[in-house]
């Protein structure tokens, strides 16, 4: 596919900078970032993940010109203390948790209860198998995450998670991340829905979106003219993003380029 070939363009190439300038100038644009693997390096203990200081300061500077948002797989409360700055918007659980959406209490309760059967199985009949396989279950309310980065045998851990989901994952959307499998209500919003929500809420249609993982691909796939989509790390040929950054180590550099384009 052409879109996949296009992802080989480096975000910081002359072409990338030119496109970035067109999206960011004149401000304001909407800047949306995933957290783990995008702003913060992936670490063995997910609880140790933090945005580097240079990244936090650069995002704070960008907030003077643009609307800055985080759309993360983590719960909103979890990510807030890891950012080192306070963005304009934070959406959690892959876009399903939106604190600004005050109308949605009933819908959220519905999405949360869709996970009840799976939750019960994790605490009950499947608890021992998950524990033995070294799978850590994280309940984010609107999604369940099965982490197996620290398992001795990741292949086995993954097969245990798949078995659990085959038995108790009916009516759920499941998707893989980096050493993690996520499950959430099938009709819950995904990250692409979350970005659309932010576009509608802010009235800003020029968008920069950066992400590193499978669950960021729906955003890349739904990109429109006037968007700058960046896949961070990994194999850019596997992504529908238009542009590519080598990894989180280049993020501060990318944000500095964004800042230059904004003045």
Question: CB of 42: closest distance to Mg ion in angstroms?
Answer: 8
Question: CB of 71: closest distance to Mg ion in angstroms?
Answer: 10
Q: Interacting stretch for Mg ion, rule CB under 5 A, among 11-19, 28-36, 118-126, 194-202?
A: 28-36
Binding mask 198-237 for Mg ion (x = CB under 5 A): --------------xx------------------------
Q: Interacting stretch for Mg ion, rule CB under 5 A, among 32-40, 107-115, 219-227, 239-247?
A: 32-40
The CA angle 206-259-191, to the nearest 5 degrees, is 40
Task: Considering the complex, state which of residue 126 and residue 213 has its C-beta at the smaller distance from Mg ion.
Answer: 213
Minimal CB distance residue for Mg ion: 37
Among 182, 251, 186, CA closest to 215: 182
Choose, by CB under 5 A, the member of 33, 34, 195, 210 that binds Mg ion.
34
Choose, by CB under 5 A, the member of 7, 36, 115, 148 that binds Mg ion.
36
- Both structure tokens of 253: 């550099």
Q: Residues binding Mg ion: what is the number (CB under 5 A)?
A: 5
94 vs 81, 127, 177, 195, CA distance in Å? 18, 25, 11, 11
Choose, by CB under 5 A, the member of 7, 31, 33, 37 that binds Mg ion.
37
The CA angle 51-57-61, to the nearest 5 degrees, is 135
Task: Report DSSP letters for 61-129, one per residue.
Answer: HHTTTSEEEEE-SS-HHHHHHHHSS--SEEEBGGGTB-TT-GGGHHHHHHHHHTTHHHHHHHHTTTHHH
Binding site for Mg ion (CB under 5 A): 34, 36-37, 212-213
């Amino acid at each position: 596919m052409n879109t996949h070939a296009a992802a080989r363009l480096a975000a910081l190439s002359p072409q990338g900078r030119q496109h970035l300038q067109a999206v960011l100038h004149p401000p304001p644009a909407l800047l949306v970032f995933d957290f783990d693997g995008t702003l913060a390096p992936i670490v063995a203990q997910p609880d140790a993940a933090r945005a580097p200081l240079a990244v936090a300061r650069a995002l704070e500077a960008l907030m003077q010109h643009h609307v800055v948002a985080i759309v993360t797989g983590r719960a909103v409360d979890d990510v807030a203390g890891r950012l080192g700055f306070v963005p304009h918007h934070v959406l959690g659980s892959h876009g399903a948790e939106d604190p600004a959406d005050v109308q949605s209490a009933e819908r959220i309760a519905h999405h949360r209860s869709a996970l009840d059967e799976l939750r019960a199985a994790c605490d009950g009949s499947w608890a021992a198998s998950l524990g033995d396989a070294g799978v850590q279950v994280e309940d984010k309310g609107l999604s369940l995450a099965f982490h197996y980065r620290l398992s001795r045998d990741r292949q086995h851990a993954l097969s245990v998670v798949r078995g659990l989901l085959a038995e108790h994952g009916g009516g759920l959307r499941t998707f893989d991340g980096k050493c993690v499998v996520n499950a959430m209500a099938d009709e819950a919003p995904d990250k692409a829905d979350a970005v659309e929500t932010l576009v509608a809420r802010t009235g800003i249609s020029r968008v920069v979106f950066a992400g590193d993982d499978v669950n960021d691909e729906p955003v890349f796939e739904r990109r429109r003219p006037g968007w700058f989509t960046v896949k961070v790390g990994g194999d850019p040929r596997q992504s529908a993003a238009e542009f590519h950054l080598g990894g989180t180590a280049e993020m501060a550099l990318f944000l500095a380029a964004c800042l230059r384009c904004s003045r």
